[in-house]
């Protein structure tokens, strides 16, 4: 039997059908669960997969990173082929690499990029081939107001008002070092980069930037929302379908 | 009541759920049928829609063009908004314009561009967000052999060997003026431009180019296949999901 080695795996998934990343007992529709069952099948023993973070139900990823200790004689390429053969077609593994013993997908992650995709067209036209990965708005947001609001949101703050978990006991201080808003035709894409994010934080930040985009709040009110440390002060949680984990930095 | 006017409409659709473009009695899952029922609802009378061509079941379009005579007081934008509001979310109208009385989406079309999307990766990785619009191959094709074969296929020929309708009584001579094969990472995209195409022609051409890509035929044998005027001599029909109507020229 081969000795256990630590493997780093990078994968993309269409989160539409899933209850998020995290394994849930008795629910086989999680990304981690799917991955663990194929790896367990491959090695003949139970495998635990450590993800860089947890994505919510319905959230997508283009480059989620995870690691697992595997005892196998298969090469990196053969592991990848095995995974891609037995995983459902909405989860795909783009890289498998032997990693240092100490590599830990969550603890060693130093940054993450998320992208939230929005769309608005007066004519009601939607991008049919992307419709499951973009949130189509009924009202036109003012992107320059959103950009102004984003400047107030950027930086290190206590993001308690932007935390979806009301029972969060640990620190809610996070550093969102950049928020970049790009437009391309009818699409509006918001890129968030930070060392880490709270539960639902990106979706609540997006919902709140849209409040500024709709002139329901001023960009300056972002400061008050941050200070309030109260979830009720921030905007609504944007739907999961528009969110995608783009990159994890190590 | 407004007088009837001729409208040109451009639309994109994800063909996955549909039995193709053409209206079929007793089957409400066709693109033309969906469009006709929303336009009939809008105008209060039966509307006939003329498409630039027929796409097969499962084939997609980024810019199908059609026209219809409509009696309505709505503006072009309002018609578009109405359509986009009542059409299913996998069909979307990108343009509605009043057209000349003589404009006929099929008779006036002088050229069409189709794209067939292929994918091959030794690692088995698939593009999860595009997986319904690209044909993932299990074997690696030799793209330069496909390009050579494409040169033999290009031009004006009797394409009877590439016609999916065995009862075709009319001329099967067509002019496929360009076939361009682009690669980008693991993706291989074949662009076909011509004045018009026979039933299944693009899919059979793709299946045949792949035969050359797999070295099961030589590029020169394309000439023999054309000459045979026999469907059995050409390659298999590539699956519908990889095909997309990109543009119609007028």
Confidence of residue A2 (pLDDT cuts 50, 70, 90): confident
Alpha-carbon distance A136 to A241, whole Å? Answer: 10
B60 interaction partners in chain A (CB closer than 8 Å): 129
- Our CA-based measurement puts residue B194 at a distance from the nearest CA of chain A, in whole angstroms, of 25
Check A128 against B89: CB less than 8 A apart: yes
Q: What is the pLDDT of residue A24?
A: 86
Q: In DSSP terms, which residues pair with B12 in a beta bridge?
A: B92
Q: What is the pLDDT of residue B1?
A: 64
Place of tokens 């006929």: B104
- Our CA-based measurement puts residue A124 at a distance from the nearest CA of chain B, in whole angstroms, of 5
B122 interaction partners in chain A (CB closer than 8 Å): 77, 81
- pLDDT by position in tens, chain B (length 250): 678 999 999 999 999 999 999 998 888 899 999 999 999 999 999 999 999 999 999 999 999 999 999 999 999 999 999 999 999 999 999 999 999 999 999 999 999 999 999 999 999 999 999 999 999 999 999 999 999 999 999 999 999 999 999 888 999 999 999 999 999 999 999 999 999 999 999 999 999 999 999 999 999 999 999 999 999 999 999 999 999 999 999 9
Alpha-carbon distance B146 to B234, whole Å? Answer: 14
Q: Residue B220 in contact with residue B151, Cβ under 8 Å? A: no
Place of tokens 């209060």: B44
Chain A to chain B Cβ contacts (< 8 Å): 80
- Please give the ipTM for the structure prediction: 0.93
Chain B interface includes A185 (CB < 8 A): no
Q: What is the pLDDT of residue A27?
A: 86
Phi-psi region of A244 (alpha: psi -120 to 50; beta: other; left: phi over 0): beta
Alpha-carbon distance A123 to B80, whole Å? Answer: 6
Check B94 against A131: CB less than 8 A apart: no
Q: Is the torsion defined by CA of A25, A30, A36, A38 positive or negative?
A: positive
Check A123 against B14: CB less than 8 A apart: no
Alpha-carbon distance B93 to A114, whole Å? Answer: 30
Chain A interface includes B139 (CB < 8 A): no
- Our CA-based measurement puts residue A12 at a distance from the nearest CA of chain B, in whole angstroms, of 7
| Interface with A, mutate which of B11, B55, B123, B241 (most A CBs under 10 A) | B123
Find the mean pLDDT for residues A10-16. 98
**Residues A132-156 pLDDT 10s:** 999 999 999 999 999 999 999 999 9
Check B124 against A91: CB less than 8 A apart: no
For B93, the closest chain A residue by CA position comes to A125
Chain A, residues 74-93, CB within 8 A of chain B, namely: 77, 80-81, 83-85, 89-93
Instruction: Read off the DSSP letter of residue A24.
Output: B
Please report, for residues A33, A170, B75, B118, B123, the alpha-carbon distance to residue A81 in angstroms, rounded to integers and kept in the order given: 18, 40, 54, 19, 5
Confidence of residue A25 (pLDDT cuts 50, 70, 90): confident
Residues 6+ apart with CB under 8 A from B53: B21, B64, B106, B109, B112, B196, B197, B245, B248
SS3 content of chain A, % helix, strand, coil (to 5): 30, 30, 40
Query: Does the annotation mark B89 as catalytic?
Result: no
Catalytic residue among B28, B56, B224, B249: B56
Cβ burial, residue B183 (10 Å; 0-12/13-18/19+): exposed
Count of C-beta atoms within a 10 Å radius of residue A235 = 23
Task: Classify A58 as helix, strand or coil.
Answer: coil
Q: What is the pLDDT of residue A1?
A: 65
Q: Residue B51 in contact with residue B9, Cβ under 8 Å? A: no
Cβ burial, residue B151 (10 Å; 0-12/13-18/19+): exposed
Q: Residue A74 in contact with residue A42, Cβ under 8 Å? A: yes
Chain A interface includes B16 (CB < 8 A): no
**Residues A36-54 pLDDT 10s:** 999 999 999 999 999 999 9
- Our CA-based measurement puts residue B13 at a distance from the nearest CA of chain A, in whole angstroms, of 6
Check B126 against A77: CB less than 8 A apart: no
DSSP string, chain B: -PPEEEEEEEEEE-GGGSS-SS-BTTB--SHHHHHHHHHHHHHTS----EESS-PPTT-EEEEEEEEEEEE-S--HHHHHHHHHHHS-TTEEEEEEEE--TT--TTTT--EEEEEEEEE--TT----GGGTTSSEE-SS---HHHHHHHHHHH-EEEE-GGG-S-TT--S--EEEE-EEEEEEETTEEEEEEEES---TTHHHHHHHHHHHHHTTSS-TTHHHHHHHHT-GGGS-PPPPGGGEEEEEEE-
**Residues A66-100 pLDDT 10s:** 999 999 999 999 999 999 999 999 999 999 999 99
């Amino acid at each position: 039997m081969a000795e256990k080695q630590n493997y780093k795996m990078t994968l993309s998934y269409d989160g539409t059908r899933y209850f998020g990343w995290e394994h849930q007992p008795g629910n086989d529709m999680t990304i981690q669960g799917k991955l663990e069952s194929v790896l367990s099948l491959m090695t003949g023993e139970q495998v635990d997969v450590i993800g860089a973070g947890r994505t919510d139900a319905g959230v997508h990823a283009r480059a989620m990173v995870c690691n697992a200790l595997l005892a196998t004689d298969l090469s990196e390429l053969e592991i990848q082929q095995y995974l891609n053969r037995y995983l459902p077609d909405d989860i795909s593994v783009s890289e498998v690499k032997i990693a240092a013993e100490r590599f830990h997908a969550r603890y060693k992650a130093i940054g993450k990029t998320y992208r939230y995709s929005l769309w608005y067209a007066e004519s009601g036209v939607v991008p049919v081939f992307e419709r499951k990965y973009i949130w189509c708005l009924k009202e036109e947001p003012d992107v320059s107001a959103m950009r102004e609001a984003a400047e107030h949101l950027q930086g290190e703050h206590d993001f308690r008002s932007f935390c979806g978990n009301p029972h969060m006991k640990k620190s809610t201080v996070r550093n969102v070092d950049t928020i970049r808003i790009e437009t391309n035709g009818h699409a509006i894409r918001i890129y968030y980069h930070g060392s880490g994010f709270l539960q639902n934080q990106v979706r609540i930040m997006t919902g709140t930037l849209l409040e500024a985009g709709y002139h329901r709040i001023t960009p300056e009110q972002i400061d008050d929302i941050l200070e309030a440390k109260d979830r009720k002060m921030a905007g609504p949680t944007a739907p999961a379908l528009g969110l995608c984990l783009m990159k994890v930095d190590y």
